Amino acid sequence: MGFTEIFVSTHDEALKRAAALESGGPAAPEAVRIPEISDFEIERLGDLAGSAVHAAGADYELVMVDVASDALLGVPDAMVRVLAELLSYETEGEGVVLDEVAAGWAAEEDMPFGADQARTYVRQLAELASTVDPAAKSGLYVWAS
């Protein structure tokens, strides 16, 4: 299995990034590259994050953004919001839920990493999501090999 790269970009720049990745380009410095997972695991993270911040049931399915690349997917706005919310969302008396989400994600079937690495990835993805600016027409994108 290859890797999945998640990044913030405009649509046009995301298409350029996808073309670079399809040509074997290196990881972008501002992107999060996770080896040995697919877009499905990113969707599962969205489901877990949504449940943790009491936004379960929203559509966290990644969507194809352009026929130019079937490997490039867009993260729905609802998922961007819940990921960003993980940085500050607290449950009463239990603290920030990011660690809980990371542990649940690491426990998913066939995950190639443990809770500590998952915590790092979830924090990085939450931080990326918090930088999405609809006014600048940026979005969160997933490219999966």
**Mean pLDDT of the 139-145 span:** 95
CB 83 within 8 A of CB 49: yes
Q: What is the pLDDT of residue 101?
A: 95
Q: What is the pLDDT of residue 17?
A: 95
Whether 92 shows a pLDDT value over 70: the answer reads no
Query: What is the C-alpha separation between 95 and 116, in angstroms, rounded?
Result: 17
Greater confidence (121 vs 91) lies with 121
What distances in angstroms separate CA 61 from CA 32, 92, 125, one per listed residue?
A: 19, 29, 16
**Mean pLDDT of the 44-62 span:** 92
| Half-sphere exposure for 109 (CA within 13 Å, toward CB) | 1
Number of domains in the chain: 1
| Half-sphere exposure for 50 (CA within 13 Å, toward CB) | 18
Domain range for 24: 3-144
pTM attached to this predicted model = 0.93
CB 32 within 8 A of CB 117: no
Query: What is the C-alpha separation between 97 and 21, in angstroms, rounded?
Result: 33
**Mean pLDDT of the 129-141 span:** 94
Write down the residue that tokens 């490219």 correspond to: 143
Residue of 4, 57, 37 whose CA lies nearest to 105? 37
Residue of 89, 96, 95, 81 whose CA lies nearest to 130? 81
Q: What is the pLDDT of residue 29?
A: 87
Whether 73 shows a pLDDT value over 70: the answer reads yes
Question: Both tokens of residue 87?
Answer: 């940085």
Task: Kindly indicate the confidence band of residue 95, based on its pLDDT and cuts at 50, 70 and 90.
Answer: low
